[in-house]
Amino acid sequence: MKIAVGCDHAGLPAKKQVVETLRLAGHDVIDLGTNTEESVDYPDYALAVAKQILTGDAEMGILCCGTGLGMCMTANKVPSIRAALCHNVYTAEMARRHNDANVLCIGARVLDDATVDSVVETFVDTPFDGGRHERRVDKINAVDGLRE
């Protein structure tokens, strides 16, 4: 699977770990930075990842910042993006199964290394259940029309 990954300076340690985890699992990773600890603005990276999904260059995205909150808020402003802030395996699984989330947001200052790996693996490996959840995701997507 092709996965776009981005972070701000606070999310850099988690992003490095995510990129390594994904590549070891055989995924094609598009690393959009940042790659230094110099302060940067998280919205720039959230939008870069979202654009990769919109253009079809990536199937999924993962964003890392200190808490995951800023990345999630920004990514969800982009039509067709369903970003989920996940703190554990359960929220990662449900974000995929019930909400067909296409962007995972994680907090480098909130999660330990083992949790980062398990959340990423769960998010990437869990399919969307469809069925009754499809109707609800369609309603989420319909909100995009209200943004214009």
Question: Residue 51's closest CA among 26, 18, 77, 70?
Answer: 77
| CATH of residue 120 | 3.40.1400.10
* Residue 72 CA, distance from chain mean position: 8
Q: How many domains does the chain have?
A: 1
The pLDDT value given to residue 145: 73
Degrees, nearest 5: CA angle 8-11-13: 130
The pLDDT value given to residue 2: 98
Whole-structure pTM value: 0.96
The pLDDT value given to residue 147: 54
Active site members:
65, 98
**What does each C-alpha distance from 93 to 84, 144, 148 come to in angstroms?**
11, 24, 31
Which DSSP state fits 106?
A: E
Both tokens of 39, joined, read: 């302060």
Domain carrying residue 36:
2-147
- What is the average pLDDT score of the chain? 96
Question: Residue 37's closest CA among 16, 12, 6, 69?
Answer: 12
The pLDDT value given to residue 144: 81
Mapped onto helix, strand or coil, the DSSP state of residue 120 is: helix
Nearest-angstrom CA–CA distance, 136 and 17: 33
Q: What is the pLDDT of residues 7-60, one digit of tens each?
A: 999 999 999 999 999 999 999 999 999 999 999 999 999 999 999 999 999 999
Run of H or E including 107: strand 103-107
